[in-house]
């Protein structure tokens, strides 16, 4: 089994920078709308006071139950590797 921890069906990597808290909040609100409208994949965005890089991957084969089966197996495999 891989050393990498299992992950869920939806995986978002997001790196946002902003000039101030209001700009950060504004960016995240807009990003939420784009996400809800299924317009987020991988990309870069930028504006006057904020910008980001992002990547969304989706693996619908990973159900809730499968995720926790993989977590249990991953944890069990690591028990023998602790020093």
Cα–chain center distance at 60: 15
The domain limits of the chain are 10-79
In the three-class reduction of DSSP (H, G, I as helix; E, B as strand; rest coil), residue 44 is classed as strand
Q: What is the pLDDT of residues 12-32, one digit of tens each?
A: 999 999 999 999 999 999 999
Q: What is the pLDDT at residue 78?
A: 87
Q: Are 52 and 16 in contact (CB under 8 A)?
A: yes
Q: What is the pLDDT at residue 82?
A: 59
Q: What is the pLDDT of residues 28-44, one digit of tens each?
A: 999 999 999 999 999 99
In the three-class reduction of DSSP (H, G, I as helix; E, B as strand; rest coil), residue 3 is classed as coil
Q: What is the pLDDT of residues 47-62, one digit of tens each?
A: 999 999 999 999 999 9
Q: Would you give the end-to-end CA distance of the chain in angstroms?
A: 18
Instruction: Tell me phi and psi for residue 47, to 5 degrees.
Output: -150, -165
Kindly list the distances between the CA atom of residue 14 and the CA atoms of 19, 37, 45, 56, in Å, as whole numbers in the listed order: 17, 17, 11, 8
């Amino acid at each position: 089994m891989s050393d990498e921890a299992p992950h869920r069906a939806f995986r978002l990597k997001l790196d946002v920078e902003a000039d101030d808290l209001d700009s950060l909040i504004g960016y995240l609100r807009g990003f939420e709308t784009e996400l809800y409208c299924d317009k987020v994949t991988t990309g870069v965005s930028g504006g006057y006071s904020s910008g980001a890089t992002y990547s969304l991957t989706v693996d619908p084969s990973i159900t809730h139950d499968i995720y926790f089966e993989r977590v249990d197996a991953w944890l069990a495999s690591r028990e023998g590797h602790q020093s």
